[in-house]
Amino acid sequence: MQVSLKVNGQATTVDAPPNTLLVQAIREHLRLTGTHVGCDTAQCGACTVHVNGRAVKSCNMLLAQAEGAEVTTIEGIAAQDGTLHPMQAAFKECHGLQCGFCTPGMVMSAIDLCKTHPGASEAEVRELLDGNLCRCTGYQNIVKAVMLGGKNMASA
Amino acid sequence: MGASDFASLPHIGEAYKRKEDYRFVTGSGQYTADVVLERQAHAVFVRSPHAHARINSVDVAAARAMPGVIGVFSGKDIEGKMGGLPCGWLINNPDGTPMKEPPHPILAISKARYVGDHVAMVVAETLEQARDAAEAVQVDYEVLPALVSVADAAKKQGTITLHDEAPDNQCYKWALGDKAAVDAAFAGAAHVTRLDLVNNRLVPNAIEPRVAVASYSRATEDYVLYVANQNPHVERLLMTAFVLGLPEHKVRVIAPDVGGGFGSKIFLYAEDVALTWASKQLNRNIKWVADRSEAFLSDAHGRDHVSHAEMAMDKDGKFLALRVHTDANLGAYLSTFSTAVPTILYATLLAGQYTTPQIYVEVDAWFTNTAPVDAYRGAGRPEATYLLERLVTRCAWDMKLGQDEIRKRNFITQFPYQTPVALQYDTGDFHAVMDKARALAEVDSFAARKAESEKNGKLRGIGYSSYIEACGLAPSNIAGALGARAGLFECGEIRVHPTGSVTVFTGSHSHGQGHETTFAQVVAARLGIPVENVDVVHGDTGRVPFGMGTYGSRSISVGGAAIMKALDKIETKAKKIAAHLMEASDADVDFANGEFSVKGTDKKIPFGQVALTAYVPHNYPLDKLEPGLNETAFYDPTNFTFPGGTYICEVEVDTATGEVKVDRFTAVDDFGTLINPMIVEGQVQGGIVQGIGQALLENCVYDNESGQLLTGSFMDYAMPRARDFPQFKLDTVCTPCTHNPLGTKGCGEAGAIGSPPAVINAVLDALAPLGVRDIDMPVTPNRVWDALHGAGKA
Closest residue by Cα to residue B74 from B148, B141, B147, B142: B141
Distance between CA atoms of B574 and B596, rounded to whole angstroms? 9
- Chain A partners within 8 Å of B682 (Cβ): 95, 98, 136-137, 140-141
What are the start-end ranges of the E strands in B351-476? Answer: 358-366, 417-418, 424-425, 459-468
Q: Give the rounded distance of the alpha carbon of B444 from its chain centre.
A: 36
Query: B562 CB contacts (<8 Å, ≥6 apart)?
Result: B489, B490, B491, B492, B506, B507, B633, B634, B635
Average pLDDT over residues B70-74: 98
- Return the percentage of chain B with pLDDT > 70, whole number: 99
Query: For residue A118, which phi and psi values (nearest 5 degrees)?
Result: -60, 140
Characterise B593 by phi-psi region: left (phi > 0), alpha (psi -120 to 50), beta (else).
left
Chain A nearest CA to B230, separation (Å): 12
- A contact residues 88-147, partner B, Cβ 8 Å cutoff: 88-89, 91-93, 95, 97-104, 107, 122-123, 125-127, 129-130, 132-143
Q: Is the pLDDT confidence value at B153 over 70?
A: yes
Among the partner residues B27, B293, B513, nearest to A104 by beta-carbon distance = B27
Instruction: Note whether B267 and B234 are within 8 A (CB).
Output: no
- How many helical (H) and strand (E) elements, i.e. helices and strands, does chain B have? 20, 28
Distance between CA atoms of A15 and B793, rounded to whole angstroms? 63
Average pLDDT over residues A86-115: 98
Helix (H, G, I), strand (E, B) or coil at B553: coil
Distance between CA atoms of A148 and B588, rounded to whole angstroms? 52
Interface touch A95/B18, C-beta < 8 Å: yes
pLDDT tens digit string along B289-326? 999 999 999 999 999 999 999 999 999 999 999 999 99
Distance between CA atoms of B262 and B273, rounded to whole angstroms? 21
A75 touching chain B per CB within 8 A: yes
In terms of CATH architecture, what is B3-29+489-635?
A: 2-Layer Sandwich (3.30)
Fold of the CATH domain B305-474+639-788: Aldehyde Oxidoreductase; domain 4 (3.30.365)
Average pLDDT, chain B: 97
CB-defined contacts A:B, below 8 A: 177
- Return the percentage of chain B with pLDDT > 90, whole number: 99
Q: Residue A96: closest CA among chain B residues belongs to which residue?
A: B682
Q: Is the pLDDT confidence value at B477 over 60?
A: yes
In single-letter form, the type of residue at position B657 comes to T
- Chain B partners within 8 Å of A86 (Cβ): none
Q: Is the pLDDT confidence value at B156 over 90?
A: yes
The interface predicted TM-score (ipTM) is: 0.98
On the question of a common fold for B3-29+489-635 and B305-474+639-788, the answer reads yes
- Chain A partners within 8 Å of B22 (Cβ): 84, 92
Q: Give the rounded distance of the alpha carbon of B552 from its chain centre.
A: 5
Interface touch A100/B259, C-beta < 8 Å: yes
Instruction: Note whether B395 and B314 are within 8 A (CB).
Output: no
H-run or E-run covering B124: strand B118-124
Instruction: Note whether B190 and B315 are within 8 A (CB).
Output: yes
Chain B nearest CA to A58, separation (Å): 15
Instruction: Note whether B516 and A99 are within 8 A (CB).
Output: no
A72 touching chain B per CB within 8 A: no
Chain A nearest CA to B657, separation (Å): 19
Distance between CA atoms of B721 and B689, rounded to whole angstroms? 9
Instruction: Note whether B271 and B45 are within 8 A (CB).
Output: yes
* Dihedral over alpha carbons A27, A30, A34, A38 (to 10 degrees): -10
pLDDT of residue B566: 98
Residue A5: pLDDT band (50, 70, 90) is very high
pLDDT tens digit string along B706-745? 999 999 999 999 999 999 999 999 999 999 999 999 999 9
Task: Pick the residue of B14, B24, B511 with the most A CBs within 10 A to test the interface with A by mutation.
Answer: B24
Distance between CA atoms of B190 and B319, rounded to whole angstroms? 10
Enumerate the domain spans of chain B. 3-29+489-635, 32-144+209-258+265-298, 305-474+639-788
Interface touch B722/A35, C-beta < 8 Å: no
A46 touching chain B per CB within 8 A: yes
Closest residue by Cα to residue B485 from B640, B633, B336, B365: B336
Interface touch A33/B685, C-beta < 8 Å: no
Chain B nearest CA to A76, separation (Å): 8
Distance between CA atoms of B504 and B11, rounded to whole angstroms? 17
> What superfamily would CATH give domain B32-144+209-258+265-298?
Aldehyde oxidase/xanthine dehydrogenase, a/b hammerhead (3.90.1170.50)
Distance between CA atoms of B710 and B130, rounded to whole angstroms? 26
Interface touch A138/B513, C-beta < 8 Å: no
Distance between CA atoms of B3 and B742, rounded to whole angstroms? 5
Instruction: Note whether B389 and B747 are within 8 A (CB).
Output: no
Residue A156: pLDDT band (50, 70, 90) is confident
Query: A82 CB contacts (<8 Å, ≥6 apart)?
Result: none
Question: Which domains, and CATH codes, for chain A?
Answer: 2-76 (3.10.20.30), 86-155 (1.10.150.120)
Q: What is the CA angle B188-B191-B197, rounded to 5?
A: 115
Instruction: Note whether B764 and B773 are within 8 A (CB).
Output: yes
Instruction: Note whether A35 and B27 are within 8 A (CB).
Output: yes
Query: B303 CB contacts (<8 Å, ≥6 apart)?
Result: B199, B200, B201, B202, B373, B376, B382, B383, B694
Q: Is the pLDDT confidence value at B791 over 60?
A: no
Helix (H, G, I), strand (E, B) or coil at B499: coil
Its pTM stands at 0.98
Instruction: Note whether B761 and B393 are within 8 A (CB).
Output: yes
Q: Is the pLDDT confidence value at B669 over 90?
A: yes
pLDDT of residue B1: 80
Q: Is the pLDDT confidence value at A50 over 90?
A: yes
* Residue B246 neighbours by CB distance under 10 Å: 18
Alpha helices in B219-335 (DSSP H): 232-237, 270-281, 292-298
Average pLDDT over residues B674-702: 98
What are the start-end ranges of the E strands in B181-339? Answer: 191-199, 211-217, 222-227, 251-254, 285-289, 305-313, 319-329
Residue B790: pLDDT band (50, 70, 90) is confident
pLDDT of residue B794: 45
Helix (H, G, I), strand (E, B) or coil at B681: helix
- Chain B partners within 8 Å of A135 (Cβ): 205-207, 260, 262, 686, 690, 719
